[in-house]
Amino acid sequence: MRILKSLVAVSCALMAVAVFATATPAKAQDEPHYLQALSELRSARDYIQWDKGQFNGARRHAVDEINKAIDEIKHAAWDDGKNTMFAPPNAQGPGWMPLHQAQKWLLEANKHIQQGVDTPANTGLRDRAFAHVEEARHTLAALLESGAQ
């Protein structure tokens, strides 16, 4: 009889663990839009910083805007329960025409930011991040029009 009680107690404990484990799903990385945007913003920043050239002021402004967007996206991701340490790695190498590559990464980041969920906990963070990325894109567009590579 004692063995039966022990088995019942163990099975109840296991069922309780199973219920609690399924009640808190590991959903932290289910919607990777913010994490993907972080990776793309970091890649764009790397491309802009790769070659300082003669356009330091405008490049610095673009990098500052990207950094502000990264901060906003990190906060939005944290509020959604995502671990920003597990964002995909940055793109490797400066490549050819780094400012064009940076423009490409900023456009991709904008797409992922727009797909991210703007929960009540992070209301406005997504929109502010989008505005910062747009400012960086406009700065890079002006640089490219002025003949920068």
pLDDT tens, position by position, 42-65: 888 888 887 666 657 888 899 999
Question: What is the rounded CA–CA span in Å between residue 56 and residue 10?
Answer: 67
Alpha-carbon distance of 74 to 71, in angstroms, equals 5
Instruction: Count Cβ atoms below 10 Å from residue 83 Cβ, excluding itself.
Output: 11
The class (CATH top level) of 30-145 is: mainly alpha
Within 10 A of 19 (CB to CB), how many other CB atoms are there?
9
- The answer to whether the beta carbons of residues 30 and 115 sit under 8 Å apart is no
Distance CA 43, CA 131 (A): 18
Give the per-residue pLDDT at 138. 93
Q: How far apart are CA 131 and CA 123, in angstroms?
A: 14
- Cα 68 from Cα 57, distance rounded (Å): 17
CA–CA distance from 94 to each of 68, 90, 146 (Å)? 22, 11, 21
The predicted structure's pLDDT at residue 48: 85
At residue 137, does pLDDT exceed 90? yes
More confident position, 27 or 57: 57
Sign, CA dihedral 65-137-87-93, equals negative
How high is the pLDDT of residue 95?
58
**Between residues 19 and 28, the one the model is more confident about:** 19
